[in-house]
Structure 1
Amino acid sequence: MHWVREFDSAAGAYYLQIANMIEMAVGEGRLLPGDRLPPQRALAQRLGVDLTTVTRAYTEARQRHLLDAVTGRGSFVAAAVERAGPPVDLGMNIPPPPQGVRLGELIQRGVNDLLTRSNVDLLMTYHVGAGSKAERAAGAAWIEPALGRVAPERIVVCPGAQATILALIETLSPPGAPIICEALTYPGLLGAAHFLGRRVLAAEMDDDGVLPASIERLAVAEKAKLVCLTPTIQNPTTATLPRRRREQIVALAEKHDLILIEDDPYHLLAEDAPPPLSALAPHRAYYISTVSKVLCPGLRCAYLALPIGVEADRVLENLRAASLMPAPLMSALLTHWIQVGLAQEILAGVRTEAHLRQKLAAEILPKAARAHRNGLHVWLPLPPHWERLRLVETMRREGLGVSASDAFAATPHAPDAIRISLGGVTERTRLAQALKSIRQILDAERRPRSMVV
């Protein structure tokens, strides 16, 4: 039992800690495919816990595809599963698993509740409108902490933020039209603009986010009318626009008759963010709130709050063209979770775990790293001796996946910086090891190049 360690009183339920020990030992090569684990009773005695705890731990490990159980022989480490990308993925912005939350059980229980009180035939048929009354009311309740009270009639239930952005660009701008966005922005926005044949105009930024004066210069010079921004915990820079700048953007939008698309996936994590642009300009801003960054991506749901007085018809037409509808089962499950308060509990757990991971990153990474205390990622400008693409390749060879700034650049000139996402590694201890590896690579001096020719 060389892989067994003592329990941490602050690390959650014992059965989860045992499963995490197994996962870590497998990841570090201390347990190899085919290795037989000790009998449950023996491990329970070794750790001083009851047999039920170990049984739950082995079940959890099997659900993580770490173990195979062979009747009459015991439990064995499963064969390694081939994964796309590097072994430690710090390149995908997803919410970290909150401690003590068993998502599989919550989904199973929620679906069972839905099947008990719903007409399955109606649930699983086509749903091509803006959402049912219950779904739109749930969406209004979900975004209320950010926007305040919103009439459910303004809500459109959408199949994720990406499809929503695509549909809004198609709805609000003609082919070839310019779109103003941050100089470093969400890759999905760049992809949607390119796919639809729109021109991206990069507004300048500083440490506080996009510069209103740059937006205005572009709007005037290029006759641009559509502006797409992420004002809170901006991806990738982590900047949160101060209230004063938000007010300036709203004022220049009024002055130049601009339409605002506000992609706001991280607002509910932030807690300290100023009011959204859409709260300051409810007649000219489209507000997108996805649950992919605060609950889990697999729900594939986002809520769109339309500007006051705007009908949903044209947006719905383009949403149907992009992705016919949200998955009805997932939308119904999310509605149920919001109604009973479970979604808010998961959100609080994700926020707490994200905060703990940010503290960990602050302790390990260089002081140049930028982050929000509850954010999912870190933005790291590089020291002079590292060029971003060479660094990314070096990290990949070490089994670490991060994102170079090129993926976010709205111009051909990207800064030497990387984004490090903290949510994709299940075990916090393993995340710490990965961050320490990144720090060691960053601190390594670049060898002088040979002058021999």
Structure 2
Amino acid sequence: MTNWRPDISQLRRPAYLSLAEQIARAIQEGLLPNGTRLLPHRKLADDLKLSVQTVSRAYDELIRRGLISGEIGRGSFVQTRPKEPEPPYLPERLGELVDLSILKPVCEQLHLERMREAFGWLAENLPSSSALSFRPNMVFPRHRVVAAEWLARCGLDISPLNISITNGATSGMTVALMSVAPPGATVATEAISHHTLVPLSSYLGLHLEGLPIDHDGMIPAALDEACRKGVIRAVFLQPSVINPTATLMSAERRQALAEVAQRHDIAIIENDILGPLVEGRPAPIAAYAPERTLYVTSFTKITVPGLRIGYLAAPDRYVAAVANRHLVSNWMATPSIAEIATRWVSDGTAMDLVNWQRGALAVRHAIAEEVFAGLPYHAHPQSLHVWLPLPEGHAEEGFVSQARLRGVAIAPGSSFRTCDQHWHPAVRISLGSTTERELRTGLGILASLASGNPEALLLAI
């Protein structure tokens, strides 16, 4: 709590906006530091002789601006960020830098040829609805039927009526979060999670609670305890290899987490963008709790990065919310790209590229196994990356900086951290974002740095 109080004499109409402005200025001037708990709605209303509704509107406005977060059962807290969070990858590739920072599938000339062929086909076969219609329901019925076939390959049995076509996984994640968690709600996730989830939750006015993980993913007892202590509205999970530690969650763990969610009646958002790429994986969590799981998958990481299309499958209770939020945030997915995805699923091209990707990744993982011999890294045969916990004494920021000076870009592990407990410095290293030769060179430099004695970086000034 803070000693600072709004000045009632400075309030102007509309009162809620004037109050929000006063609090915003106090935050900007440092009078309300990050993490400060604000007065409860009713207490502040009584102090200022305002209605509770006026104070609630002021707090909602501050949540919309990203200045505070509201946690049901706990209160409202200042949540300032000194600057926008930096992405874990380079915004562009520079010079001779070996860029292992951005997560990409392995791509060769084959992929460019497939896209060129697809656009050639599209030029001759583009339906009038895809070019001329503004109405999603006029454009996508056929695409949803084919999407249901693809989701069956992912282990999901769902009606086409429950599927939304999205512009990739990020769009699907955003719509899913908006559909299950209103501003001020709390969403649980793994302690090491998706790098866009932290800023995305902030922009949506959500509180993100990172929970402990082990070798099998999120610990069910931790989710159960978080649900009992506070009002958790949803849990965001990445059970199939795409998570930063490249963990493939067991069927037993998936079922246990689904049972916790059912017991506390919370929604599940399952991010499964690798889909059928991962061989021998258990059924999706959505198969264990179909009545509450919003399932996200896409094609960009398993076929061609330019095929920015994905599927969001939602249970009946969320179908209307998903449709409405998708309309206001995206209106609809890009019809021409959806046409290509639908054709590729139907004619087998998509699965052919998935199978090709498995073979290419096997080669990349063999290189990593050879070069990183003796280092305690984490990977999966179909992961697009490896997760390298840094040896004792190595600081994450220094390691990333030294690697960059030696010509290798990597993603700092802190970009994926959602809580501060039990953190061990680490880096994520992409295997598919460059050629095999460059990959071997880059991994060799990283292995040398990890095996050597850590030393502070000195800059000439």
TM-score grouping bracket, smaller chain normalisation: 0.7 to 0.9
Contact 2:164 2:313 in 1 (8 A): yes
Q: Distance in 1 between matches of 2:369 and 2:138?
A: 42
Farther-moved stretch of structure 1 (89-98 vs 175-184): 89-98
Local SS of the residue matching 1:380: strand
**1:357 partner amino acid:** R
What is the deviation of 1:234? 4.2
Change beyond 3 A, Cα 1:152–1:87 = same
Contact 1:402 1:420 in 2 (8 A): yes
**Aligned residue number for residue 359 of structure 1:** 366
Q: 1:401 aligns with which of 409, 430, 433?
A: 409
**2:98 partner amino acid:** V
**Aligned residue number for residue 106 of structure 2:** 96
What is the deviation of 1:188? 1.6
Contact 2:367 2:440 in 1 (8 A): yes
Q: Which runs of 4+ in 1 moved over 4 A?
A: 447-450
Contact 1:85 1:401 in 2 (8 A): no
Gaps of 5+ in 1: 1-81
**Aligned residue number for residue 37 of structure 1:** none
**1:329 partner amino acid:** S
Contact 1:355 1:375 in 2 (8 A): no
Change beyond 3 A, Cα 1:122–1:418 = closer
**Aligned residue number for residue 289 of structure 1:** 297
**Aligned residue number for residue 314 of structure 1:** 321
Could you give the per-residue CA deviations for residues 351-380 of structure 1, whole angstroms, max 9, x where no partner exists?
Answer: 211122112111111430000011101011
What is the deviation of 1:397? 1.0
Change beyond 3 A, Cα 1:85–1:202 = farther
Change beyond 3 A, Cα 1:122–1:178 = closer
Q: Distance in 2 between matches of 1:166 and 1:186?
A: 12
Q: Distance in 1 between matches of 2:332 and 2:278?
A: 29
Gaps of 5+ in 2: 1-91
Identical amino acids, percent of aligned pairs: 26
Contact 2:105 2:357 in 1 (8 A): yes
**Aligned residue number for residue 155 of structure 2:** 147
Q: 2:280 aligns with which of 264, 272, 275?
A: 272
Local SS of the residue matching 1:442: helix
Q: Distance in 2 between matches of 1:194 and 1:268?
A: 31
**Aligned residue number for residue 59 of structure 1:** none
**2:101 partner amino acid:** G
Q: 2:343 aligns with which of 336, 342, 355?
A: 336
Change beyond 3 A, Cα 1:122–1:296 = closer
Residues 195-344 of structure 1: pairs in structure 2 closer than 5 A: 195-307=203-315, 309-310=316-317, 312-344=319-351
Change beyond 3 A, Cα 1:155–1:316 = same
**Aligned residue number for residue 417 of structure 1:** 426
Farther-moved stretch of structure 1 (187-196 vs 310-319): 310-319
Change beyond 3 A, Cα 1:194–1:86 = farther
Q: Distance in 2 between matches of 1:133 and 1:264?
A: 23
Q: Distance in 1 between matches of 2:275 and 2:188?
A: 21
Contact 2:97 2:407 in 1 (8 A): yes
Farther-moved stretch of structure 1 (370-379 vs 413-422): 413-422
Local SS of the residue matching 2:317: coil
Q: Give the CA RMSD over aligned residues.
A: 2.2
**2:363 partner amino acid:** L
Q: Distance in 1 between matches of 2:333 and 2:304?
A: 15
Contact 2:129 2:139 in 1 (8 A): no
Q: Distance in 1 between matches of 2:220 and 2:354?
A: 32
Q: Name the TM-score, length of structure 2 as normaliser.
A: 0.75
Q: Name the TM-score, length of structure 1 as normaliser.
A: 0.76
Farther-moved stretch of structure 1 (441-450 vs 188-197): 441-450
What is the deviation of 1:224? 0.6
Local SS of the residue matching 1:338: helix
What is the deviation of 1:313? 2.8
Aligned residues: 365
Q: 2:355 aligns with which of 342, 348, 351?
A: 348
